[in-house]
Chains A and B, each alone.
Chain A
Amino acid sequence: MNDLQALSKILMVALIATFACALGGAFIPGPVGMVSGTACIVILIAAPVLRVAWLVVDWTRIGDRKFALCGGALLCVLATSGTIALLR
């Protein structure tokens, strides 16, 4: 199994977990539903960042330094954007 297949399986687990949490958030009333819905949003935020980080590690491992640096730069841009937006 190559790294993209492994990433695909991880994202499939994330997809199922997000769907379950989303259903909980939409249909379970009270604090349980709130926690479930919030967990769904947290996974939606974390999954693409994890994907980029995974690719950076993978490209570094196979020696594709140019694009590993690009991925690292993107993570820096995302962190900067998130920080500036949160501080405003």
Chain B
Amino acid sequence: MNPVALAFAAFVTAAVGTLGGLGGAILLVPILVLSGMGARYAAPLGLVSVAAGSLAAAPHQLTARVVNHRLGIATEIVASSAALVGALVSGLIGQSVLAVLLGCVALIAAFAGGRRKGIRNLPDRSLTADDVGETPGTLAGVYPLGDEFVPYQAKRLPVGLLGMGMAGLISGLSGVGGGWVKTPTTSEVMHVPVKVAAATSTFTVGVTAAVGLLVYESQGRIVVSDAALVAAAGLVGGTVGVRLQHVLPPPLVRRGLSVILAVIGVLLIVRR
């Protein structure tokens, strides 16, 4: 792939990945493979894109206090442990079976997000800007929605952790990030607002990508000049994505996420 096309693909996938909390790898890696790049070299570039998008989003999301770090860290323990197990047993499952499984998960997540109408968490007029952020000692918080403030509380934690474990397992088995499972799980299963879910996933996929990049770097699988180009484009894309996430209404973000997941699901099943 020529450098201009590589930079453009990295920019777009990082922007979309950050906007929806998906991580760009699930989009970028298939594009690179379709363009003729070997999966061995495409996977590290996918993780560079994810890490760049996560870093680009961090300053804005921290200032806006929209990430729930307590929720992210509590669920990431399960996801990372499952990713380790998935990586260790990855040779036991055929790539074709894995692709169909991933496709089905993406389609279910798309359906769950797309069928829901309206906004689940409603603004509370008694809250002020001082209340925005996480509530210490709990998995609750308040996030800003326009001029109003919306309280939320993560629900169904055991089922949510099961979903995060599945996201980690899929991540370890397939080598792509699990953000595209984490965001719908956090939003649709744990009833966390989609913008908080996407921002929290953007934080956690950066953590997961860091470990993956460390491994790829030690294996000499990172082509530094290509990775640097993807990182530069991914940083710009991530910055654009997080700005869009801030201004777009939650139902639009959720429906857009569902459309992207549906496309990913169909691609995975058709291309197995």
The residues of A with any CB-CB pair to B shorter than 8 Å are 4-5, 7-9, 11-12, 14-15, 18-19, 21-26, 33-34, 36-38, 40-41, 43-49, 51-52, 55, 59, 62, 64, 66-67, 70-71, 73-74, 77-78, 80-82, 84-86
Given A18, A55, A62, which contacts B55 in the complex, CB threshold below 8 Å? Answer: A18
Q: Which residues of the partner chain B approach A5 to less than 8 Å between Cβ atoms?
A: 62-63
- Judge whether A25 and B224 touch: CB under 8 Å: yes
- Judge whether A78 and B80 touch: CB under 8 Å: yes
Q: Which residues of the partner chain B approach A73 to less than 8 Å between Cβ atoms?
A: 77
* B11 CB within 8 Å of chain A: no
A-B contact count (CB 8 A): 160
Given A9, A38, A44, A51, which contacts B224 in the complex, CB threshold below 8 Å? Answer: A38
* B33 CB within 8 Å of chain A: no
| 0/1 string, B196-217, CB within 8 A of A gives 1 | 0000000100110111011101
Q: Which residues of the partner chain B approach A78 to less than 8 Å between Cβ atoms?
A: 80, 207, 210-211
- Judge whether B235 and A18 touch: CB under 8 Å: yes
- Judge whether A41 and B77 touch: CB under 8 Å: no
- Judge whether A34 and B213 touch: CB under 8 Å: no
| Contact A11:B213 (CB < 8 A) given known A25-B224, A78-B80 | no
Q: For residue A36, give the distance in angstroms from its CB to the closest CB of chain B.
A: 7
* B119 CB within 8 Å of chain A: no
Q: Which residues of the partner chain A approach B188 to less than 8 Å between Cβ atoms?
A: none
* B191 CB within 8 Å of chain A: no
Q: Which residues of the partner chain A approach B176 to less than 8 Å between Cβ atoms?
A: none
Interface residue range, chain B: 35 or more
| Contact A40:B59 (CB < 8 A) given known A48-B210, A51-B203 | no
* B52 CB within 8 Å of chain A: yes
A37 to B213, CA, bound (A): 13
| Contact A77:B228 (CB < 8 A) given known A44-B51, A85-B211 | no
Q: Which of B69, B81, B222 has the most CB of A within 10 A?
A: B69
- Judge whether A33 and B58 touch: CB under 8 Å: no
- Judge whether A14 and B224 touch: CB under 8 Å: no
Closest to A19 in B: B235
Closest to A11 in B: B58
- Judge whether A49 and B65 touch: CB under 8 Å: no
Closest to A33 in B: B225
Sample of 12 A–B contacts (CB below 8 Å): A7-B62, A14-B55, A19-B235, A40-B228, A41-B217, A44-B55, A44-B210, A44-B213, A45-B217, A48-B207, A64-B136, A82-B214
* B101 CB within 8 Å of chain A: no
| Contact A25:B228 (CB < 8 A) given known A44-B210, A52-B73, A81-B84 | yes
A32 to B225, CA, bound (A): 11
* B263 CB within 8 Å of chain A: no
Q: Which residues of the partner chain A approach B207 to less than 8 Å between Cβ atoms?
A: 48-49, 51-52, 74, 78
A-B pairs, top 8 by smallest CB distance, nearest first, are A25-B228, A8-B62, A22-B232, A37-B228, A37-B224, A22-B231, A26-B229, A44-B51
Q: Which of B3, B65, B88, B207 has the most CB of A within 10 A?
A: B207
- Judge whether B213 and A8 touch: CB under 8 Å: no
Given B74, B84, B203, B231, which contacts A84 in the complex, CB threshold below 8 Å? Answer: B84
Closest to A4 in B: B62
Beyond A4-B133, A25-B228: 7 further Cβ-contacts under 8 Å? A25-B231, A41-B217, A41-B222, A67-B136, A74-B76, A74-B80, A86-B218
